[in-house]
Structure 1
Amino acid sequence: MRALFMFCLVLIAQSLFAQLTLQGKVIDSATGQPLANVSVFISNTSAGTTTKQDGSFSLSIPQGTYQIVFSYIGYTTKTFTTNTISNSFHIGLSPAENRLADVVLMPFEKDGWARWGKFFTDLFIGTTDEALQCIIQNTKTIRFRQDKKNKTLQAVAFEPLIITNKALGYKIQYQLEEFTYDFNNKYLFYQGYPLFMEMQGSRHKQKHWQEKRREVYEGSQMHFMRSLYRNTLMQEGFDVFRMLKTENEEKKRIKQALRYGPIPKDSSAYYENILAEPDEKSIIYSGRLTGDSIAFGINDITAGFQFDNYLYINYNKKKVPDAFLRSFPKSTANMASEITLLEKVILQVEANGNFHPQLALLNTGYWGWSEKISRILPFDYTYGR
């Protein structure tokens, strides 16, 4: 069976090299006039182009499920998945009137970047060592508004963000569609479409970037998904365990008791220790999971990935970077992450590590810190390059 499985993988790998050519034309949906210089690209890859004066474009796309993004300043971004479109088609873009209407309902803060710039950068770019070498070149396009009633912060960009990542050697064009932070639940939600462009540099710089990309890749979520697809989790260094989280009943009891009176002096140390514990307790089950125990084949190029509750994932081939321990000094040095599905769906995973729906998967632990713009790689990244 193992030999048959490997043979199937070879066939699948060969099919992935097949390229399709997507051709079409982009017009203004209201006037019917062609739109030139519209950015057309495969999200989270280095494949992209722009429309010509007559609105036409041609783009080579690999076999698989990807998001094709059509982005133009002043117009609403449109996306399509490659399995829902034909090789040749027309698309109409509409002016972004809804966003302008929102500005009237809730105006942006004056000097918003001065107040929220670092907060935004830490959440979006990250607090990694690589983040220190990331620069958003057009910060003036980012505006902020705070909803004090609902205790949320929203960031809006009226043009694609241009980000230079000197640590990994990429220039990133990022179409930010939504960025909202919930202060009550300390939950960040952001969505966007990045296009990666290779930076030019000396042979020494190119070698350095290759080494840094490989370092970032090892133990990343992309590495995990690719290993899951190939059923090589253990061989690649991933220890995966089922995990259950339950409410911390003792902490809940103490919180309720404090509503009716102060902490008893003879119990103050105990109370303080319990209150310092997390709201939930984690139970990690013994027995490492293999890829074929949580994933299965959907078709020739897609694997299904589904699980209940949580998965605890530790990459055992190296420890976390020092920057992670500076951000979370009480954490262990293990490169451990926890994932859960926000909705009961089957994730569709492809050979390059791409998976969807991406918004259904929530990362905490190491990946919650590391999977930021400063450390993400394009899905067409090749290991070691």
Structure 2
Amino acid sequence: MKRVFTIIFLFSISILFSQTITGIVVDQNDEPLAGATVYFDGSSFGTSTNMDGEFKISLPSEISSSLVISFVGFDKVYLNNLNFEKRYKIILKESVEDLKEVILMDNKFTRKQMLTIFRNQFLGRTKAGNKCKILNEDEIYFSYDNDQFLLTAYADKPLIIENPYLGYKVYFDLTRFDTKFSSYSIDQEKMYSSIYVGTSRFEEVDNSKSKLKNREKVFNGSFLQLFRNIANKEWSKDKFTLFKGKFKANADEYLYVKDTLGLKQIFIKKQERGFHPKDFVAEFSLLYNRREQSKIIFHTDNFVIDRYGLFSNYDKIYFSGDLSEKKVGDLLPSNYGIE
């Protein structure tokens, strides 16, 4: 059975009670770093440090993604469990050039073939994905494990993605990309699973009416909408409908939602395992607007969703079907539609 699993965000849940975070970014000699990038992963909330290395980010409400601090030539810092009443001092360490070992394997695949798979499984083949362009593809390195039939990719610098369909420029710091095939092949039809992980930052470059309309289209039926719907217990025929097997299910019987300090904790009713792995908890079918079909597979019995639709335990929640086809090209900032 072909399974296409997509992982998008790399973040940890933290509870934020204030709306403004301030601080300073310095090097190990306590010298301010002007122009360092500070942003909340997966959002358009971000800024650059001023000449004194200082930064300030204001939010309309609490968010649960990591605060990422980066500067060229220095190791990134990820902050969670933030205290917004504190003024942060972030010390960045200079990067030690670690040239990754390149293992030359005797395979028949070209860089062009591997790039094609990468674009398809990273950007997606939807209308938005097809229009995206990675401006620095030369930063992407590939390897193929002949024994595991596994294509991996990495990049030392954030990938810069132009998305003219949605009017964003996206900076994606890729930490993991794996595509596994069922045999020694790089054909799309032989693909078994695909995973990508990283942090992202959005810059709006075009907010014309056509782009706003496209964003609304992409949001409908998206991961972001699904998890906001789960948190708010909003299930309907023109949104998402939950099925257990072939039968429509009452979501309240299988997904229990509990308010926890402004976040929503979701508890999943465990199903009989059958032929599934030991950590399997439950599997459901999803139908969006009576036409888009997907599956959601839980390998955790609980997770947390914030107001934006960001969720914890991302590495234990898998998807297949239409949702798995929505990649970075259909990615919206997590604060989309949140005032």
| SS class of match (2:215) | helix
Separation of aligned partners in 2, 1:134 and 1:375 = 10
Letter in 2 for 1:41: Y
Which residue number corresponds to residue 101 of structure 2? 104
Which residue number corresponds to residue 197 of structure 1? 203
- Which residue of 275, 284, 290 maps to 1:311? 284
Letter in 2 for 1:313: L
Task: Check the 8 A contact 2:242/2:284 in 1, yes or no.
Answer: yes
Letter in 2 for 1:298: D
Structure 2, unaligned runs of 5 or more: 1-14, 183-190, 269-280
| SS class of match (2:33) | coil
The CA deviation at 1:85 is 7.0
Q: Which has the higher contact order (CA 8 A, sep 6+)?
A: 2
Task: Check the 8 A contact 2:48/2:55 in 1, yes or no.
Answer: yes
The CA deviation at 1:95 is 3.6
The CA deviation at 1:146 is 2.7
Matched, 1:374 2:335: no
The CA deviation at 1:180 is 2.3
Separation of aligned partners in 2, 1:127 and 1:160 = 21
Separation of aligned partners in 2, 1:366 and 1:382 = 22
Q: Report 1:325-336 matches (<5 A).
A: 334-336=291-293
Separation of aligned partners in 2, 1:71 and 1:108 = 34
Q: 1:341 to 1:96 in 2, by over 3 A?
A: farther
TM-score (normalizing by structure 2): 0.79
Which region of structure 1 is more displaced relative to structure 2, 72-81 or 43-52? Answer: 72-81
Which residue number corresponds to residue 294 of structure 2? 337
Which residue number corresponds to residue 269 of structure 1? none
| SS class of match (1:76) | coil
Q: Report 1:102-181 matches (<5 A).
A: 103-104=100-101, 106=103, 113-181=111-179
Letter in 2 for 1:377: L
Deviations 1:31-66 (A, max 9, x none): 443322221101111111112233221112331322
The CA deviation at 1:379 is 1.2
Higher fraction of helix: 1
Which residue number corresponds to residue 346 of structure 1? 302
Separation of aligned partners in 1, 2:252 and 2:69 = 35
Separation of aligned partners in 1, 2:141 and 2:218 = 30
**Equivalent pairs: percent with the same residue?**
23
Which residue number corresponds to residue 5 of structure 1? none
Task: Check the 8 A contact 1:73/1:158 in 2, yes or no.
Answer: no
Which residue number corresponds to residue 228 of structure 2? 226
TM-score (normalizing by structure 1): 0.70
Letter in 1 for 2:131: Q
Q: Aligned residues, how many? A: 302
Task: Check the 8 A contact 2:16/2:81 in 1, yes or no.
Answer: no
Separation of aligned partners in 2, 1:376 and 1:237 = 18
Separation of aligned partners in 2, 1:21 and 1:88 = 10
Q: 1:161 to 1:24 in 2, by over 3 A?
A: same
Deviations 1:2-43 (A, max 9, x none): xxxxxxxxxxxxxx99852111122334x4433222211011
Q: 1:309 to 1:200 in 2, by over 3 A?
A: closer
- Bigger-Rg structure (1/2): 1
Separation of aligned partners in 2, 1:338 and 1:142 = 31
Task: Check the 8 A contact 2:243/2:284 in 1, yes or no.
Answer: yes
Separation of aligned partners in 1, 2:77 and 2:103 = 24
Q: 1:377 to 1:108 in 2, by over 3 A?
A: farther
Separation of aligned partners in 2, 1:292 and 1:24 = 45
- Which residue of 49, 56, 59 maps to 2:57? 59
Q: 1:287 to 1:132 in 2, by over 3 A?
A: closer
Which residue number corresponds to residue 364 of structure 1? 320
Alignment RMSD (CA, Å) = 2.9
Q: 1:143 to 1:239 in 2, by over 3 A?
A: same
Separation of aligned partners in 2, 1:220 and 1:291 = 21
Which residue number corresponds to residue 42 of structure 2? 44
Q: 1:40 to 1:292 in 2, by over 3 A?
A: farther
Which region of structure 1 is more displaced relative to structure 2, 212-221 or 175-184? Answer: 175-184
